[in-house]
């Protein structure tokens, strides 16, 4: 081999290696920074939504506090509820739900429209066509009287809440 052949082979190898090395560098710094900014923007958007939700919840509680009446808060995720007056918790309770045609509306405020009276097994708190709160031992079969979703709570909890609230009592269904 001659010297010119060695230099041309070395030149071709150098060019091939440079193309391979350029491909191995990955993305340019601008692309990496752009992706990082997009991820940061997504995180900030989630944080803004969370803060807006928290602000709405606090404004709702402030309005309930100012109304000077008792109100109910339901946390649908943890399946717990609270009967509150101003900023004091009067009663906490656990509940279950029935599987119905409609789901319990989330993040809404409902107004109690009526209470059904009778023996302990027939007492119910009605929130229009949107929700019914009744005892787990209720003799009224779910879906027989109304198609509204139902919250089932213990008999003692229902008795305490039943006599504490009145028509027009507000209820907030959380997450």
Averaged pLDDT for residues 42-65: 87
* Cβ-contact 66, 51 below 8 angstroms: no
Q: Any idea which of 10-14, 51-55, 66-70, 82-86 has the lowest mean pLDDT?
A: 10-14
Higher pLDDT, 66 or 17: 66
Residue 64's pLDDT band, with cuts at 50, 70 and 90, is confident
When the pLDDT of each residue in the chain is averaged and rounded to a whole number, the result is 82
Averaged pLDDT for residues 91-104: 82
How much is the pLDDT for 92?
94
Averaged pLDDT for residues 67-78: 88
Tell me: the pLDDT tens digits for 14-45? 777 766 665 555 567 788 899 999 999 999 99
Averaged pLDDT for residues 34-63: 89
């Amino acid at each position: 081999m001659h010297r010119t052949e060695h230099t041309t082979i070395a030149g071709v190898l150098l060019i091939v290696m440079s193309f391979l090395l350029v491909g191995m560098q990955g993305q340019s710094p601008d692309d990496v920074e752009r992706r990082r900014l997009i991820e940061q923007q997504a995180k900030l958007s989630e944080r803004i939504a969370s803060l807006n939700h928290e602000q709405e919840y606090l404004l709702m509680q402030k309005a309930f506090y100012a109304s000077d009446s008792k109100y109910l808060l339901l946390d649908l995720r943890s399946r717990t509820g609270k009967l509150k007056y101003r900023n004091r918790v009067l009663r906490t309770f656990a509940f279950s739900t029935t599987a119905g045609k409609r789901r319990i509306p989330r993040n809404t405020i409902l107004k109690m429209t009526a209470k059904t009276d009778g023996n302990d097994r027939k007492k119910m708190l009605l929130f229009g066509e949107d929700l019914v709160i009744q005892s787990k031992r209720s003799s009224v079969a779910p879906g027989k009287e109304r198609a509204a979703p139902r919250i089932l709570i213990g008999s003692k909890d229902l008795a305490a809440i039943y006599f504490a609230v009145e028509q027009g009592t507000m209820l907030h269904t959380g997450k």
